[in-house]
Structure 1
Amino acid sequence: MRKTRLLPIVSMLSLMVGCVGLQRDHILTGLPSGCPSQDAGALLAEQNQLGPLSDTHALLCAVNVLRDTQDPAVRRTALGSRLCLHLAEREANQEKREKFAAEGVGFAETALAQGGGQDGAVHYYLAANLGLAVREHITLAMENLGRLEREMKQALALSPDIDDGGPLRLLGALYLKAPPWPGGIGDLDKALELLEKAVKEHPGHPINHLFYAQALWEEDDEANLSRVKAELALGKKLLAEGRWGYNKEPWQKEFTMFVQELGEGELSRR
């Protein structure tokens, strides 16, 4: 079996409430300049307009409003956590990226405390933010593998189709990238099952195909090579042709890294 990286990839997964290590302080303590007049209820009503196509300033303004709201209807949703994830994914500076992601975990934990536990999106974005917050800190990641798995399983049970099969995609990636028993929860068979389901049920998302290609490659079976390349090609085509906004650049880097790994792997067999 090939050696895989521990929990890398775009948006992987979650942490204990109040656990030491997350940088909980906000990136911004004051109102970003030039923000429109907004209230949290209006943001919630128009939340579908905020996403990977939104510019960073718009997301910062929205998050600043959500930080201060006491509206329980807003606080028990995944909105703040989701917006923090978008900000974290597009942030090049590691410290700032981890702070945004940690704040996203905090938003999700607040939502759970406010009664949002039956919303799969809350568990999903908690997990996705946490993976981003701890992915460069192996000890923290290892200590929280169980929480990562539980949050993603809960998201899968409650909202399997959110984010084009995001719970399938990220739980499958967790099983693929985590160390195997006895040191971790890694399980290639589970990863293959979940990621195959992701590409079948949500064939339009490029990262579903990338992760499935990685799982097939990890199986280390020569017979899989043509399928690996086909999944990779389809994922790259979807990425190039789709409107993925600010997600496109980091996702392209993930494809490039795997293409390099694939090339090196083929060369090693000759």
Structure 2
Amino acid sequence: MRAIRLLTTITMLILAGCAGLQSDRVRFDGLSGCPRQTAAMLAAQQSQYGPLSDTHTLECALTVLRDSQDLALRRTSLGSRLSLHLAEREANPDRREKLAAEGVSLAEAALAQGADDDAAVHYYLAANLGLAVREHITLAMDNLGRLEGAMKRAQALNPDIDHGGPLRLLGALYLKAPAWPSGIGDLDKALELLEKAVREHPAHPLNHLFYAQALWHEGDEASLSQAKAEFALGEKLLAEGMWGYSKESWKKEFAEFQQELENDL
């Protein structure tokens, strides 16, 4: 089987009990220009915050949530989702890790307050955690199980979040993780989950990219041909879709895998 790089947006490794994650919050500029918002307003509008939202809007919303003592709001996945969107578009590595680490903390707080049945909380916990530690792999080798557990919990509760996000992330985890006995890597599981993500959520470009990587990893000619087709479809969906601020970082992932495909010829 081929060796394959780690995805830039996901790592299969996490820190035990989140030890070692950044603890300082990122300070935002320009907050004087934020609209007047209450916790109730934020809760009512939370579905509006996503990759199409500008950075200032997300920063204002996260600031309100940080200062809020509203337990109903803090029990939701909103804080961890805001943190993830901000972290993914942050160019400074230190600020990116701090934002992702805050997303982990907010998700853990939501779980502690009774959100265990909320699939989104588990999903954004895993996504933030992967982003927070992606530059610190050596610190995380003993903790594959926790990330797997968060993703499996999200999948069991609602596999359709974020266009099949739990299927996509769990499939990528099984693809990238070391195989038994040192890890939980399993190419068959990866292919099954990622094929399901593509079948049930065909509009999301990363589903096709991740499935293409799994097929490429399989190594035979038929799989390579299918991998190229999935890659081409994912590229088309990325170019034509409204993916907001996520588009640039995803373009880099496609470009990096395209180089691997070309090197394989």
If the length of structure 2 is used for normalisation, what is the TM-score? 0.96
Q: How many residues align?
A: 265
Quick one: which amino acid aligns to residue 254 of structure 1?
Answer: E
- The aligned counterpart of 1:4 is 4
**Contact 1:12-1:127 at 8 Å conserved across structures:** no
Q: 1:224 to 1:16 in 2, by over 3 A?
A: closer
Percent of matched pairs sharing the same residue: 70
Q: How does 1:77-226 map to 2 (within 5 A)?
A: 77-226=76-225
Instruction: After superposing the two structures, state which structure 1 stretch, 71-80 or 222-231, moved more.
Output: 222-231
**Contact 1:11-1:89 at 8 Å conserved across structures:** no
Quick one: which amino acid aligns to residue 247 of structure 2?
Answer: K
- The aligned counterpart of 1:245 is 244
Mapped partners of 1:17, 1:43: distance in 2: 32
Shift of 1:184: 1.4
Mapped partners of 1:89, 1:171: distance in 2: 19
**Contact 2:15-2:133 at 8 Å conserved across structures:** no
Mapped partners of 1:100, 1:130: distance in 2: 10
Indicate the RMSD between aligned Cα atoms, in angstroms.
1.6
Mapped partners of 1:141, 1:211: distance in 2: 22
Q: Deviations over 1:1-55 (max 9, x none)?
A: 111234x332456856853210021001788231111112211111121110111
Quick one: which amino acid aligns to residue 157 of structure 2?
Answer: L
SS of 1:143 mapped into structure 2: coil
Quick one: which amino acid aligns to residue 197 of structure 2?
Answer: A
Q: 1:14 to 1:63 in 2, by over 3 A?
A: farther
Quick one: which amino acid aligns to residue 3 of structure 2?
Answer: K
**Contact 1:40-1:65 at 8 Å conserved across structures:** yes
Q: 1:132 to 1:24 in 2, by over 3 A?
A: same
Shift of 1:135: 0.9
- The aligned counterpart of 2:61 is 62
**Contact 2:75-2:114 at 8 Å conserved across structures:** yes
If the length of structure 1 is used for normalisation, what is the TM-score? 0.94
Q: 1:12 to 1:155 in 2, by over 3 A?
A: farther
**Contact 2:80-2:104 at 8 Å conserved across structures:** yes
Mapped partners of 2:184, 2:12: distance in 1: 14
Q: 1:82 to 1:11 in 2, by over 3 A?
A: farther
Mapped partners of 2:116, 2:178: distance in 1: 29
Mapped partners of 2:42, 2:244: distance in 1: 20
Mapped partners of 1:42, 1:133: distance in 2: 29
- The aligned counterpart of 1:21 is 20
**Contact 1:14-1:105 at 8 Å conserved across structures:** no
Quick one: which amino acid aligns to residue 132 of structure 1?
Answer: L
- The aligned counterpart of 2:42 is 43
**Contact 1:88-1:96 at 8 Å conserved across structures:** yes
Q: Deviations over 1:92-120 (max 9, x none)?
A: 11111100000000010000011001000
Shift of 1:144: 2.2
